[in-house]
Structures are given as structure tokens and as C-alpha cells.
């Protein structure tokens, strides 16, 4: 069977028409050949895009981890040793629980440019401190500061001993500074700061403060050099610890200097005997009152050759701003302060009232105050002396000689607080207030 399609017969007119030739086949497109260099660039660009995407994701993760609250549940102090690198610091912080992702901390340090700025020291990290907070603290060197307080009135030797006992300080002190050359105060320092560095700072502060105070001195001040001001201030510092009394105590000594009277200060006896140790650890004995030392103002005229302690700023201010009174004497008043007097008779009445208070206190079962060391015990009878006691006998153990001994000149000295008869612990009486005075029994 023939499957060839049958051709429909054309009409004679159609058959006479020419037949159009078939259209030529389409030309085959020549495939352009790609350059290997372009292919490499294309692949590299693709890789860069992928890497950039990964970096962006990583940066977002690091940024999130760096800003979110850290794992610390409470404040913590961490000491970063000297010469620690980024790896050592990161491991330490992770071990102490300050951070929880070491790799994000390292990455943050690199990104922020603080990798080379991390400093050793003692740092306080607050609870929930973020990694950014931790980085800021360590890179800025905001170390923990400690404080050492040096009380006024200590000798240089005593101050050096305190600094040596402080375990937070480092280094040795080769020599104690000169007496009166350093300023007692509270000083702040980082762990490991040198002891000598503290002393140097104290000396600089003393020079600065002394210069400013010296510029404001009155023209009639009987001390002529800054060193003499420090000497007198050291005596005032040792005589009273009450801020309201310092100017008046200074006024007493200045009045005595102007009248060429001996200063008669117990602390100068102690310094002449104990030196830089600053204390005898016992009451002053009678034969020591007139024992000749360069510092004993019961014996020498005027000021001692040097300070007997390191006075504070307030004591030096009290000397240049002393009270303008006629006071020449003062004695403990039984309330922690002093009763002042212009004349010897007034002074003797104050001493008698003080003894009356002390007698009452002892009768009520009181005990001698612990501050009786380094003090002169007042005379049991009236005080008729005007200068220093005289005529003591070797071997005497009493702390003061009674007046009226044959062959001696009657002289007066200022009774001091803190002896076994001094009622410093009794706050009942105030000798400066007549209404609170006990009735004085006249023999």
C-alpha cells in the first residue's frame, strides 16, 4: 500500500506559475570563546561575595555578643599580670567568668584596635559587664585604687613603718624622710605602687601646702621661717586633737614666745627622749622633766631645733591664724578639751577643778585613762611655778616635783591631759562652763 500523500491536481493556470525556491537554512551562530581571565574574575567575585556575606554575619554575631550583658552575677576584681598578651588576658577573663566567649572577645579586640592597648593591673568589673565594657576598662587602665591614711602627728619613722606594713604597696624605703617634711593625709594608689612613691607625693604636697600657708602669715608672727612654722605646728598637733582648739593652743605658745617664756610642752620631752619612735610607752618621770635634751622645752628657750612630728594642714593653718588672746596656760578640762587661763591664779583654779573632777571619778570606780603614757602627772598641790620645775633628785619615779621644795625656785608649768589623774573619759564636766563645774573644796 502506497503511503505517499496524494498531490492535489493544480489548475492549468497554477501549474504555469513559477515555484519559489525554498528559504535558505539559518546560519549557525559562532560561539564566542570566553577569556580564562574573565572566568577567574567572575569566580573570584563570587567568592568575595560569599566571604563578605560570612563576614557580615560574623560581625553581626560578634557585635551582638560584645554588647549584650556579660555572665558576671556580681562585681568581681581581677588582677591581670604584667606582660600578659591578648591570649593570656582572654583566658584569664574566661576563667574568672567575666566573659563567656573567648573568640568574640579576641575578635572585638582586633576590630576595635584595642588589642595592643590592654594594660596590666587590678580591675573591678561590674555585674553583667559587657565585653565592650571589659575592653574599655582594660584598655583605659582604670585600675582599682586603694587608700592609705596617714594620721596627723606621727613621726616620719612611724609613717615609714605604716607604709612598710601595707601589703598593697611595693618596693623598699631606704631612708625615713626628715621630720616634718611630709604631709599627713589620705593617699590613693593602685596595687603595687611603690612605697617611696607615696613618700615622694607626701613631700611634694607638704611643700605646696606650706608655701601657700606661709604666704598668708601675719606680719607679727614670731616664727621667721617656714621651718619654724612647721616646728610650732608639730607641737600644736601633739598637744590637742580637737580642731576647734588648735588656734587657741597655738595662740598660747605664740604668746609665750612673745614674752620669752619657755613653751613647756610635754610632747617635746617625749621627742627628746624617744626620738622618731614618738612614744615612751609610759608616763614621763619627774627626773625627765628637766633632763637636758635639744627638744625639751621645759629646759630650752624658744622653739626646739626641729619638728617633733609631721603636722597636718589644719595645725599649720592654726599657727598663722592663731587666736588673739592673752592666754598663757591650758589644762585638761575633763571633757576631752582644755581650760585656758591668762594668769597663773586662773590656771591653778582650773587645775584644782580638774583634780576635783578626777577625784570624783576615781571615787566612783573609774580607771586611769589609757592615754596616761607620754604625759606629765600634775602636782598634787598648788602650782606656783612660772617656768620649768627644778631641783629634782636622781632616781625619783614621780612624774612631777611638788612646789615649795627648799632651795628651789617656784615655777609654773602647764598640766597636761592624759595622766592617771586626767578625766578625759569623763564627759560630765566642762571647765569652760561655770554651770557644770563641781564645787571646789577649799582646804
pLDDT value at 409 more than 70: no
Q: What integer pLDDT is reported at residue 435 of this predicted model?
A: 47
Q: C-alpha grid cell for residue 210?
A: 606650706
- pLDDT confidence tier of residue 441, bands split at 50, 70 and 90: very low
Q: What integer pLDDT is reported at residue 401 of this predicted model?
A: 30
Q: What integer pLDDT is reported at residue 286 of this predicted model?
A: 86
Range from 186-200, 269-283, 316-330 carrying the lowest mean pLDDT: 269-283
Q: Are 358 and 424 in contact (CB under 8 A)?
A: no
For the chain, give the percent of residues with pLDDT over 90. Answer: 45
- 368: burial class by Cβ within 10 Å (0-12, 13-18, 19+)? middle
pLDDT value at 213 more than 70: yes
Which is more confidently placed, 145 or 49? 145
- pLDDT confidence tier of residue 108, bands split at 50, 70 and 90: confident
Which is more confidently placed, 308 or 112? 308
For the chain, give the percent of residues with pLDDT over 70. Answer: 72
User: In whole numbers, what is the pLDDT of the chain averaged over residues?
Assistant: 79
Neighbours of 62 (CB within 10 A): 20
Range from 25-39, 322-336, 407-421 carrying the lowest mean pLDDT: 407-421
> What pLDDT digit, counting tens, does each position of 149-168 carry?
999 999 999 999 999 999 99
- pLDDT confidence tier of residue 22, bands split at 50, 70 and 90: confident
Q: What integer pLDDT is reported at residue 327 of this predicted model?
A: 93
> What pLDDT digit, counting tens, does each position of 131-141 carry?
888 999 999 88
> What pLDDT digit, counting tens, does each position of 217-234 carry?
999 999 999 999 999 999
- What 3 state SS string does the chain have? CCCCCCCCCCCHHHHHCCCCCCCCCCCCCCCCCCCHHHHHHHHHHHHHHHHHHHHHHHHHHHHHHHHCCCCCCCCEEEEECCCCCHHHHHHHHHHCCCCCCHHHHHHHHHHHCCHHHCCCEEEEECCCCCHHHHHHHHHHCCCCEEEEECCCCCCHHHHHHHHHHCCCCECCCCCCCCCCCCCCCEEEEECCCEHHHHHHHHHHHHHHHHHHHHHCCCCCCCCCCHHHHHHHHHHHHHHCCCCCCHHHHHHHHHHHHHCCCCCCCHHHHHHHHHHHHCCCCCCCCHHHHCCCCCCCCCCCCCCCCCCCCCCCHHHHHHHHCCCCCCCCEEEECCCCCEEEECCHHHHHHHHHHHHHHHHHHHHCCCCCCHHHCCCCCCCCCCCCECCCCCCCCCCCCCCCCCCCCCCCCCECCCCCCCCCCCCCCCCCCCCCCHHHCCCCCCC
Rounded mean pLDDT of 241-270?
94
Q: What integer pLDDT is reported at residue 434 of this predicted model?
A: 47
- pLDDT confidence tier of residue 403, bands split at 50, 70 and 90: very low
Pick from 243, 242, 246, 303: nearest CA to 271: 303
Amino acid at each position: 500500500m502506497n503511503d505517499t500523500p496524494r498531490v492535489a491536481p493544480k489548475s492549468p493556470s497554477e501549474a504555469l506559475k513559477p515555484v519559489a525556491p525554498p528559504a535558505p537554512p539559518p546560519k549557525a551562530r559562532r560561539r564566542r570563546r570566553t577569556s580564562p581571565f574573565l572566568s577567574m574574575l567572575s569566580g573570584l567575585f563570587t567568592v568575595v561575595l560569599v566571604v563578605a556575606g560570612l563576614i557580615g554575619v560574623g560581625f553581626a554575631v560578634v557585635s551582638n555578643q560584645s554588647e549584650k550583658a556579660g555572665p558576671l552575677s556580681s562585681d568581681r576584681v581581677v588582677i591581670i599580670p604584667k606582660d600578659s598578651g591578648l591570649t593570656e588576658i582572654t583566658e584569664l577573663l574566661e576563667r574568672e567568668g567575666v566573659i563567656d566567649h573567648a573568640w568574640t572577645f579576641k575578635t572585638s579586640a582586633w576590630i576595635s584596635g584595642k588589642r595592643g592597648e590592654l594594660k596590666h593591673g587590678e580591675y573591678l568589673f561590674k555585674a553583667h559587664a559587657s565585653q565592650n565594657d571589659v575592653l574599655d576598662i582594660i584598655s583605659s587602665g582604670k585600675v582599682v585604687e586603694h587608700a592609705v591614711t596617714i594620721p596627723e602627728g606621727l613621726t616620719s619613722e612611724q609613717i615609714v613603718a605604716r607604709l612598710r606594713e601595707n601589703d598593697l604597696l611595693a618596693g623598699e624605703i631606704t631612708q625615713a624622710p626628715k621630720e616634718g617634711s611630709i604631709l599627713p593625709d589620705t593617699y590613693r594608689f593602685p596595687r603595687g605602687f611603690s612605697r617611696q612613691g607615696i613618700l615622694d607625693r607626701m613631700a611634694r604636697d607638704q611643700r605646696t601646702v606650706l608655701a601657700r600657708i606661709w604666704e598668708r602669715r601675719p606680719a607679727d608672727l614670731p616664727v621667721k621661717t617656714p621651718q619654724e612654722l612647721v616646728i610650732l605646728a608639730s607641737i600644736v598637733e601633739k598637744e590637742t586633737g580637737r580642731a576647734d582648739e588648735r588656734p587657741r593652743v597655738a595662740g598660747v605658745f605664740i604668746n609665750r614666745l612673745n614674752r620669752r617664756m619657755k613653751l613647756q610642752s610635754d610632747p617635746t620631752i617625749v621627742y627628746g627622749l624617744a626620738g622618731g619612735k614618738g612614744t615612751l610607752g609610759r608616763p614621763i618621770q619627774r627626773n625627765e622633766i628637766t633632763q637636758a635634751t635639744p627638744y625639751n622645752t621645759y629646759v630650752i628657750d624658744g622653739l626646739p631645733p626641729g619638728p617633733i612630728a609631721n603636722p597636718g594642714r589644719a595645725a599649720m593653718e592654726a599657727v598663722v591664724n592663731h587666736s588673739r588672746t592673752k592666754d598663757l596656760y591650758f589644762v585638761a578640762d575633763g571633757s576631752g578639751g582644755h581650760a585656758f587661763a591668762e594668769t597663773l591664779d586662773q590656771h591653778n583654779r582650773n587645775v584644782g577643778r580638774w583634780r576635783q573632777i578626777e577625784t570624783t571619778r576615781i571615787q566612783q570606780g573609774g580607771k586611769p585613762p589609757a592615754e596616761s603614757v607620754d604625759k606629765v602627772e600634775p602636782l598634787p598641790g598648788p602650782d606656783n611655778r612660772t617656768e620649768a620645775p627644778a631641783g629634782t633628785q636622781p632616781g625619783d619615779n614621780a612624774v612631777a616635783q611638788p612646789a615649795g621644795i627648799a632651795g628651789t625656785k617656784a615655777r609654773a608649768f602647764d598640766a597636761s591631759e592624759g595622766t592617771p589623774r586626767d578625766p578625759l573619759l569623763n564627759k560630765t564636766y566642762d571647765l569652760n562652763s561655770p554651770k557644770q563645774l563641781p564645787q571646789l573644796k577649799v582646804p
